[in-house]
Structure 1
Amino acid sequence: MTSVARVAVAHADRMVVKVGSSSLTDKPTGLATDRLDALVEAISARRLSGRQVVLVSSGAIAAGLAPLRLRRRPRDLATQQAAASVGQSLLVHAYALSFARYGLTVGQVLLTAEDLIRRSHYRNAQRNLERLLDLGVVPIVNENDAVATAEIRFGDNDRLAALVAHVLHADALVLLSDVDGLYDGDPRRPGAQLVPQVAGADDLAGVQAGRSGSGVGTGGMASKVDAATVATSAGVHVVLASAPNAAAAMAGAQVGTWFTPTGRRLPTRLLWLKHASTPHGRLTLDAGAVAAVVERRLSLLSVGVTAVEGEFEAGDPVDVCDPAGHAVARGLVAYAADELPPLLGRATHDLSDRYRREVIHRDDLVLL
């Protein structure tokens, strides 16, 4: 039965559905077609009802293990890329055949983190996905593991799905897993209780979400909670449920864990900066500068910076910390790490013209 609280999910005109490797594969034989077909049936029913669905699917590397006679997910990047190259075609082919049973066409969209970081790339990805949806196609999105490196990868498709939901202004995000929701402890142990609703950070207090995933995937419950936080902070409803409950989750039924929206949509660049970027260093501020950045939302000037840590170039993300070392904001720094030490504590009018720009402009700052 659909609850009043989940009506927004049930009525979502545009939904992103993410499924993990462990829900699609049958070790050691690769893809489990019965699981894949069951998921496709649920998505097709929603699509044929007139609503749009984007599928973010893991499984390329896992699907490539058996053809390459690999017994487990490789640890080295080159072999991961090779497995993804082999497995991605098998994965999309399986989806194409399954969706064709319902008269639906699929389109493959492979993304790296850079595609949602750089504005020109982000706009291209957005236009492609929007046009596919306009044409009645079911886009199947995956991280481009065949070319992604450790420096530019999302790390798991949960976060990718959250960013795609934001980019496409989706109304809802459904995260499908091999666990039927978020628990307050290890669900394999007696006494662990399902958390039916998360309305904010307070509801996560005491919840233990591990980062270790299955032997064929990269995610864990923590990555799903992180993804839910990203999406809900942008105004997107999120449901975390097990893959067999896909149809019920999309229909707004009382399954899994529902994460309610906590904020409004941020510009995509700032959403990435807050939730998906990796800081390359830290800037420590005095109390006055912290107040200026956090309370008055001003740009960060050199006079308020007391210390610099890390190695970074101009344009890299860095954490902005208070005197106690707590990160209060993150921003794109305008100077390289080796340029900043001579500028620390100095007023802008005391600097040469070359160094009179802000250390971090307020448009490139996001509060944590």
Structure 2
Amino acid sequence: MIDVDRVDALVDVLAARRRTGTQIVLVSSGAIAAGLGPLGLAARPRDLATQQAAASVGQGVLVARYTSSFARYGLRVGQVLLTADDMMRRAHHVNAQRTLGRLLELDIVPIVNENDTVATDEIRFGDNDRLAALVAHLTRADALVLLSDVDALYDGDPRKAGSRRLTDVRGPEDLDGVELGGGGAVGTGGMVTKVQAARIATGAGVPVVLTAAAHAAQALAGADIGTYFHPAGRHPGTRLLWLAHAATGRGRLHLDPGAVEAVVGRRKSLLPAGVTGVEGDFAAGDPVDLCGPLGGVVARGLVNFDAAEIPDLLGRSTRELASSLGPEYERELIHRDDIVILEPTH
């Protein structure tokens, strides 16, 4: 069920900010939950097909609620449903960026959610905090506000005396000693995923404020509230940001030490000669994980060949492949522009 009062309270804050001329993009969860009631389900279903059915019904319910709530202020909304695939494939992410930009130009409030109705590998993007961080990058947002049921990030259980609010986070060193594990006190309120999302956004040059929904107005006004994560990087390519943080490898390519050095150390393309093995069932254009000799994932990239084609290419130079198989094989397995480094060591 949708909590109408909480939705209206959030919209009250966003509409007030919108009246000052600030553009707003809202990333909202709740489609599956919103579909449970209309389908007569007492609890969230476990099977994928029923989750997708609930999302299909719930997306309409959710956007209808936002439409009605924003209409109180004369504001219109537009629904944008995204998948990880939309951002990994260049034509798709350009279209998503164009759509969001045009909605804002038309004075529409975009309501963004994961397109749960067509997700097959995993019903969810991972979490909507991560989706929000990536959308903030996609729209070149000036700031990202992550809302929780906890008013800030603390160095201990916020319910216990002596726990200290972390007002600023400028880098990983500021989180030393802060328990972020799933079983830790700070993990309450989805804090683990929110900190991960903050790292994604700040690494892309977007500052982040993490606070409770009740403090959304103060956060948007720049008040000393919650925890402020300082931007730590420049805007990288959108597609590579999604490849690093949104994609799941559809398979694995195992690299010899020379190939790892070329790809990770010198940022070169991956050639067939440096690959020792292939796992999985994937198609050209899919994301695959690149593994070092010890099996650890060191990078991820968009592969140029189907999985079935690759075994015949392994260990051979592109010149040799072109000579025996044709000129279309005189190319890299993965171009360097389609590779993102995941770990500094191998």
Give the C-alpha shift of residue 40 in structure 1: 1.0
C-alpha distance in 1 between matches for 2:34 and 2:98: 29
Gap change, CA 1:313 and 1:92, over 3 Å in 2: closer
Give the C-alpha shift of residue 138 in structure 1: 1.4
Aligned pair partner of 1:132 in 103, 116, 120: 103
Measured against aligned partners, the alpha-carbon deviations of 1:127-168 in whole angstroms (never above 9, x if no partner) come to 222222112221112222233333585232222212221221
Give the secondary structure class of the aligned counterpart of 1:307. strand
C-alpha distance in 1 between matches for 2:42 and 2:157: 27
Q: Which residue is 2:304 aligned to?
A: 334
One-letter code aligned to 2:332: E
Measured against aligned partners, the alpha-carbon deviations of 1:31-80 in whole angstroms (never above 9, x if no partner) come to 22221122111111111001100111112222222333322222122222
TM score, norm. by length of structure 1: 0.81
C-alpha distance in 1 between matches for 2:181 and 2:42: 24
Q: Which residue is 1:70 aligned to?
A: 41
Contact 1:285 1:305 in 2 (8 A): yes
C-alpha distance in 1 between matches for 2:285 and 2:149: 39
Matched, 1:52 2:23: yes
Q: Which residue is 1:25 aligned to?
A: none
Q: Which residue is 2:318 aligned to?
A: 348
C-alpha distance in 2 between matches for 1:226 and 1:335: 32
Matched, 1:238 2:208: yes
Gap change, CA 1:202 and 1:313, over 3 Å in 2: farther
Measured against aligned partners, the alpha-carbon deviations of 1:327-348 in whole angstroms (never above 9, x if no partner) come to 2221112233343344433333
Matched, 1:169 2:143: no
Q: Which residue is 2:152 aligned to?
A: 181
Q: Which residue is 2:290 aligned to?
A: 320
C-alpha distance in 1 between matches for 2:318 and 2:151: 55
Q: Which residue is 1:363 aligned to?
A: 337
C-alpha distance in 2 between matches for 1:192 and 1:307: 50
Give the C-alpha shift of residue 264 in structure 1: 1.6
Identity, % of aligned pairs?
A: 66
Residues 79-158 of structure 1 mapped to structure 2, 5 A cutoff: 79-150=50-121, 153-158=124-129
Gap change, CA 1:320 and 1:241, over 3 Å in 2: same
Measured against aligned partners, the alpha-carbon deviations of 1:165-201 in whole angstroms (never above 9, x if no partner) come to 1221111111112222334455456665443333233
Q: Which residue is 1:278 aligned to?
A: 248
Query: Which 5+ residue runs of structure 1 have no aligned equivalent?
Result: 1-29, 213-218
Q: How many residues get paired?
A: 333
- Asked which structure has the greater RCO (Cα within 8 Å, sep 6+), the reply is 1
Q: Which residue is 1:297 aligned to?
A: 267
C-alpha distance in 2 between matches for 1:121 and 1:337: 23
Instruction: Quote the RMSD (CA, aligned, Å).
Output: 2.6
Gap change, CA 1:210 and 1:126, over 3 Å in 2: same
C-alpha distance in 2 between matches for 1:304 and 1:360: 12
Contact 1:210 1:221 in 2 (8 A): no
Measured against aligned partners, the alpha-carbon deviations of 1:196-255 in whole angstroms (never above 9, x if no partner) come to 33323333445443569xxxxxx9333322322222221111122111111112222222
TM score, norm. by length of structure 2: 0.86
